Amino acid sequence: GAVVSQHPSWVICKSGTSVKIECRSLDFQATTMFWYRQFPKQSLMLMATSNEGSKATYEQGVEKDKFLINHASLTLSTLTVTSAHPEDSSFYICSARDGTNQETQYFGPGTRLLVL
Amino acid sequence: AQSVTQLDSHVSVSEGTPVLLRCNYSSSYSPSLFWYVQHPNKGLQLLLKYTSAATLVKGINGFEAEFKKSETSFHLTKPSAHMSDAAEYFCVVTRGNDYKLSFGAGTTVTVRA
Residue A107 dihedral angles phi and psi, to the nearest 5°: -100, 145
Give the residue-averaged pLDDT of B2-18: 94
Contact state of A104 with B34 under an 8 Å Cβ cutoff: yes
A44-59 average pLDDT score: 90
Shortest alpha-carbon distance between residue A39 and chain B (Å)? 12
Cross-chain Cβ contact B43/A108 below 8 Å: yes
User: How far is residue A8's CA from residue A88's CA, in Å, rounded to a whole number?
Assistant: 16
Q: Is A102 at the interface with chain B, CB within 8 A? A: yes
As a whole number of angstroms, the distance between CA A101 and CA A93 comes to 20
Instruction: Verify whether the Cβ–Cβ distance A42 to B106 is below 8 Å.
Output: yes
Q: Does the pLDDT value for residue B35 go beyond 80? A: yes
> Residue A43 and residue B42: Cβ atoms within 8 Å?
no
3-class state of residue A31 by DSSP: coil
In chain B, residues with a C-beta closer than 8 Å to the C-beta of A46 are 100-101
For chain A, give the mean pLDDT. Answer: 91
A49, A32 in Cβ contact below 8 A? yes
Long-range contacts, B38-43 (Cβ 8 Å, 24+): B38/B87, B38/B88, B38/B89, B38/B90, B38/B106, B39/B87, B39/B88, B40/B87, B41/A110, B41/A112, B42/A109, B42/A110, B43/A4, B43/A6, B43/A93, B43/A107, B43/A108, B43/A109, B43/A110
Cα separation, B43 vs B36, whole angstroms: 10
Task: Calculate the average pLDDT of chain B.
Answer: 91
Residue A72 to residue A90: CA distance in whole angstroms = 25
Residues within 8 A of B (CB atoms), A 38-77 only: 42-46, 49
Three-state SS letters, chain B: CCEEEECCCEEEEECCCCEEECEEEECCCCCCEEEEEECCCCCEEEEEEECCCCCEEECHHHCEEEEECCCCEEEEEECCCCHHHCEEEEEEEECCCCCCEEECCCEEEEEEC
Closest partner CB to B42 (pick from A97, A106, A109): A109
pLDDT higher than threshold 70 for residue B5: yes
Chain A contact present for B70, CB below 8 A: no
| B30 pLDDT above the threshold of 90 | no
- Counting Cα atoms < 13 Å in the Cβ hemisphere of B40 gives 4
A35 touching chain B per CB within 8 A: no
In the predicted structure, residue A1 carries a pLDDT above the cut 70: no
A:B CB pairs within 8 Å: 47
Most B-contacting residue of A105, A106, A111, A112 (CB-CB within 10 A), to test interface = A105
Mean pLDDT of B3-20: 95
